[in-house]
Copies of this chain bind each other. A is one copy, B any other.
Amino acid sequence: MEFLIHRDDLKRALTHAQGIVEKRSTTPILASVLLQAGADGVRVTASDKAMTFVGDFAANVATPGEVAVDAVNFFQVARVLPNEVVSVKLAQNQRIDVRCGRSSYKLNGFPAADFPPLPSFDADRSLTIAAADLRALIDQTLFSVAPDDNRYGLGGAHLEAVAEDPPKLRMVGTDGNRLSWSQRPFSGDLGIRSKMLMPRKPLAELRRFLDGLETDVTVGFGERSAVVRCPSFLVQMRLMEAQFPDYRAVLPTSFKRRAVLDRETFLEGLKRANIFATDGSHSVRFAFGADELVLTARKLDAGDAREELPADFSGEPLSVGLNARFVQEVLSVLSGSKVAIEMGDTLSPCILRDPDVADALFVVMPVRLD
């Protein structure tokens, strides 16, 4: 195996790969990437139990061949190389010879045959969506997915097709105390089986791979896996088997009160009030009244905060307790200048949304105020 590759391509390939491999594995082959040089370039494959990344990168291949090499070591070398052209060559004893300008490295490799077999990538049905839209779906829902949940079906994002014109792909995430959904146009078939979710960590990795991508991607679904393809790479992830809660049942269908605020001002005020919110619960009192929202927080032994924010409010005055961090996270994934909060009574779910955008909705459950 022998090829020339651009330093930036090598760096990009290994950045993706080292996010996936099991870095602290006691089995070295699980911490490695597979390099396969063929006629068209170099294929880089990295895999762990939850997901597999296969990327094709342009290279000038003199001799085809394959070898596995520690992902982190190779990445550390790739990211500091002095020149643009890098020569990679398989030498004796599975040693990989990397040369660039007057720098040279010899990395210990493993026979490609030792690399774990890849899962099959066959999908029954697939859909097509713009990479920018898939990014938006993930950005607006992933933060609400429960970080560690294997019991209640909250550890992954739920997908469904919404029969609008054009049809929309909706992604939903919840941790039981808040819920987010976002939807974007797509074409093709959504082939995910019922009771299957896209797990949180692989979805977060996928989000990184989609950075800056301006093409369409296809998403195919097999029995227990999803495959995301774009021209330069493929990501396969195992799906999670879990019954996602009937989220529509908790969504209020009407509201008694509504406030519209400047999103940035609201976000800054919340950050300040949160300094004196109780650690952990981030509980802040939201008092809505004529023309204003007053945020108050109290931390024992530290002090009190009070923020007065102009608000366009309709309805009877109301005080609710909300987790300031949850509300901050919603305000951070919105981009419009305004945000609307729709409320029922003190303990009813609060709905946050951009008043000018119908394709994303955020629910935060109130907490009891003392």
Contacts and interface: CB of A to CB of B under 8 A. Distances in A.
Nearest to A275: B76
B70 A105 contact: no
A370 interface: no
Contacts of A95: 303
Nearest to A271: B80
- One complex includes copies of this chain to the number of 2
B102 A302 contact: no
A164 interface: no
A361 to B, nearest CB: 29
Interface stretch (A138-146, A176-184, A306-314): A306-314
10 contacts: A70-B302, A77-B272, A77-B305, A80-B272, A81-B272, A104-B306, A105-B304, A106-B304, A107-B302, A108-B303
Nearest to A73: B302
Given A80-B272, A271-B80, A272-B80, A107 B303 contact: yes
Contact of A307 (B103, B108, B276): B103
Interface of A: 28, 70, 73, 76-77, 80-82, 95-96, 102-108, 268-269, 271-272, 275-276, 301-309
Contacts of A304: 105-106
Given A76-B275, A77-B275, A275-B80, A105 B269 contact: no
Given A76-B275, A105-B304, A107-B303, 19 more contacts: A28-B301, A70-B302, A73-B275, A73-B302, A77-B272, A77-B275, A80-B271, A81-B272, A82-B268, A102-B309, A103-B272, A103-B305, A103-B306, A105-B276, A105-B303, A105-B305, A106-B303, A106-B304, A107-B302
A100 to B, nearest CB: 9
Contacts of A269: 82, 103
Nearest to A96: B303
A369 to B, nearest CB: 18
Contacts of A103: 269, 272, 305-308
A108 B306 contact: no
A275 B105 CA distance: 10
A220 to B, nearest CB: 38
A276 B108 CA distance: 12
Contacts of A276: 105
Given A268-B80, A309-B102, A108 B301 contact: yes
Nearest to A99: B306
A203 B308 CA distance: 43
A272 B268 CA distance: 43
Contacts of A302: 70, 73, 107-108
Contacts of A271: 80
A7 to B, nearest CB: 12
A307 B80 contact: no
Closest 9 CB pairs of A and B: A107-B303, A102-B308, A106-B304, A104-B306, A76-B275, A80-B272, A73-B302, A106-B303, A105-B305
A52 to B, nearest CB: 24
A123 to B, nearest CB: 38
Given A77-B272, A82-B268, A268-B80, A105 B306 contact: yes
